[in-house]
Amino acid sequence: KLGEQKHSKEPSSLQCMHLAVVACGDRLEETLIMLKSAVLFSNRRLCFHIFAEDSLKPEFEKKLKEWPSSYTKKFEYNIYPITFSVGNAQEWKKLFKPCAAQRLFLPVILKDVDSLLYVDTDVLFLRPIDDIWHILTEFNSTQLAAMAPEHEIPKIGWYSRFARHPYYGTTGVNSGVMLMNLTRIRSTQFKNSMVPSGLTWEEMLYPLYQKYKSYITWGDQDLLNIIFYFNPECLYVFPCQWNYRPDHCMYGSNCKGAEEEGVSILHGNRGVYHDDKQPTFKALYEVIRDFPFEDNLFQSLYYPLQSKFLDTVHTLCGRIPQVFLKQIEKTMKKVYENRVIVYLGANHRY
């Protein structure tokens, strides 16, 4: 009986929170910093699915092995080559940024994964992934993916002003942070503008691209907007603090959720971690990058961040430091409390 129990135990991949990312070109460091932010704060075990060009695979393996064992035991990872199951691979590769279209094929490639969080390489977690993972339980019976709006204000939104193709809602959605129930995606027949009957996800992708390729600007994100325009009941829209971008503060603060709760997931799109246009975003990236894994979070992460933020007060994003600090402070307190409890428990002091 003991043997049977052991044998019937769930595989670790089912107990994981699955996180996928696609890395090509010069995105190695950015991807590693994103993974580091995930591991620093999360509670449950993580399964990373890293899709990368062949030349990057040994680099990922080398760097991840250098992380201390107290952190590497919190996750497992697989590295996959870039592959496209339908259509012309070269065409897909050229769509928007190199390899970005790979995310469209995750339901087809990761056949054994039930649910997944996909993020762009330029994302940083400021609270446990457990918290966004919990949103999966809030899906109703027809919802199979979740994304945040592309903009909060239609009159200055990109899609509402310039799009030449259908898009979701009043401002479209941003695909840089996308939570997916892959099982539902694989089993759904999607309404579309090509044939009267429904099509599966895989059947739909290439014809959809062929139909709209002259009109799309943002590649795979535009295709996702078109899909959810025709299937709005399939999408759960989560608030802007789960995908907080420079647009949310560079024209004045326009993400109410972040003002109230703080930023949960930071998305430094348009290369803002690497130039001086948005120093607040760059400061967060550099502090997480430079944090020595085993150090005290307050001493080596939070306080350096506060002092770096003092240099950004001349910018609109820098004038609201509490928006960036609120969640990260709360998360670090929890991490610290958990460690103290574990330490006290291990030593049977009380």
Listing DSSP states for 177-230 in one string gives EEEEEHHHHHHPPBP-SS-SS-B-HHHHHHHHHHHHTTT-SSTHHHHHHHHHHH
Cα 255 vs. chain centroid, distance in angstroms?
18
Span of 86-95, 172-181, 265-274 with lowest mean pLDDT: 86-95
80-130 pLDDT, tens digit each: 999 887 766 777 776 656 687 899 999 999 999 999 999 999 999 999 999
Q: Same domain, yes or no, for 310 and 201?
A: no
Identify the three-state secondary structure at position 117.
strand
Whether the per-residue pLDDT at 264 is higher than 50: the answer is yes
Q: Say what the pTM is.
A: 0.91
Q: Which two tokens stand for residue 270?
A: 């348009």
Q: Same domain, yes or no, for 226 and 277?
A: no
Residue 71 lies in a domain: yes
Residue 5 lies in a domain: no
Across residues 294-322, what is the average pLDDT?
93
Q: Same domain, yes or no, for 70 and 211?
A: yes
Domain stop point among 187, 214, 238: 238
**Angle 279-284-289 (CA atoms, 0-180°, nearest 5)?**
120
Alpha-carbon gap, residue 18 to 129, rounded angstroms: 10
Whether the per-residue pLDDT at 227 is higher than 90: the answer is yes
Q: Same domain, yes or no, for 231 and 303?
A: no
Percent of the chain with pLDDT over 70: 90
Q: Same domain, yes or no, for 100 and 195?
A: yes
Q: What is the pLDDT of residue 85?
A: 73
Across residues 32-58, what is the average pLDDT?
96
**Angle 141-220-152 (CA atoms, 0-180°, nearest 5)?**
70
Asked if 149 and 237 count as a contact pair (C-beta separation under 8 A), the reply is: yes
Whether the per-residue pLDDT at 8 is higher than 50: the answer is no
Q: Same domain, yes or no, for 234 and 275?
A: no
Q: Same domain, yes or no, for 94 and 232?
A: yes
Domain of residue 95 covers 17-238
276-288 pLDDT, tens digit each: 999 999 999 999 9
**Number of domains within the chain:** 2
Q: Same domain, yes or no, for 80 and 140?
A: yes
Q: What is the pLDDT of residue 7?
A: 30
Residue 2 lies in a domain: no
For residue 269, what pLDDT band results from cuts at 50, 70 and 90?
very high
Domain stop point among 187, 220, 238: 238
Whether the per-residue pLDDT at 343 is higher than 70: the answer is no
Residue 247 lies in a domain: no
Span of 36-45, 107-116, 130-139, 147-156 with lowest mean pLDDT: 147-156
Q: Same domain, yes or no, for 338 and 194?
A: no
Q: What is the pLDDT of residue 167?
A: 78
Alpha-carbon gap, residue 201 to 46, rounded angstroms: 26
Mean pLDDT score across all residues of the chain: 89
Phi, psi (degrees; rounded to nearest 5) at 79: -115, 130
List own/partner pairs for 28-32 with CB under 8 A and 24 or more apart.
28/56, 28/59, 28/60, 28/63, 29/289, 30/121, 30/122, 30/273, 31/60, 31/121, 32/60, 32/63, 32/64
Q: What is the pLDDT of residue 10?
A: 39
Domain stop point among 213, 238, 263: 238
Q: Same domain, yes or no, for 168 and 303?
A: no
Asked if 212 and 226 count as a contact pair (C-beta separation under 8 A), the reply is: yes
Residue 293 lies in a domain: yes
Residue 260 lies in a domain: no
Across residues 145-167, what is the average pLDDT?
83
Q: What is the pLDDT of residue 11?
A: 42
Alpha-carbon gap, residue 116 to 323, rounded angstroms: 27
Q: Same domain, yes or no, for 155 and 55?
A: yes
Q: Tell me which residue of 161, 119, 121, 141 sits closest to 17, measured CA to CA.
A: 119
For residue 12, what pLDDT band results from cuts at 50, 70 and 90?
very low
Q: What is the pLDDT of residue 219?
A: 77
Q: What is the pLDDT of residue 337?
A: 81
Q: Tell me which residue of 252, 205, 189, 175 sits closest to 20, measured CA to CA.
A: 175
1, 73, 128, 172 from 134: Cα distances, Å: 34, 22, 10, 24
Q: Same domain, yes or no, for 225 and 280?
A: no
Q: What is the pLDDT of residue 344?
A: 60
CATH number of the CATH domain containing 158: 3.90.550.10
Residue 8 lies in a domain: no
Residue 193 lies in a domain: yes
Q: Which two tokens stand for residue 69?
A: 């064992």
Q: What is the pLDDT of residue 218?
A: 75
87, 198, 214, 254 from 194: Cα distances, Å: 16, 9, 16, 37
Whether the per-residue pLDDT at 78 is higher than 90: the answer is yes
For residue 161, what pLDDT band results from cuts at 50, 70 and 90?
confident
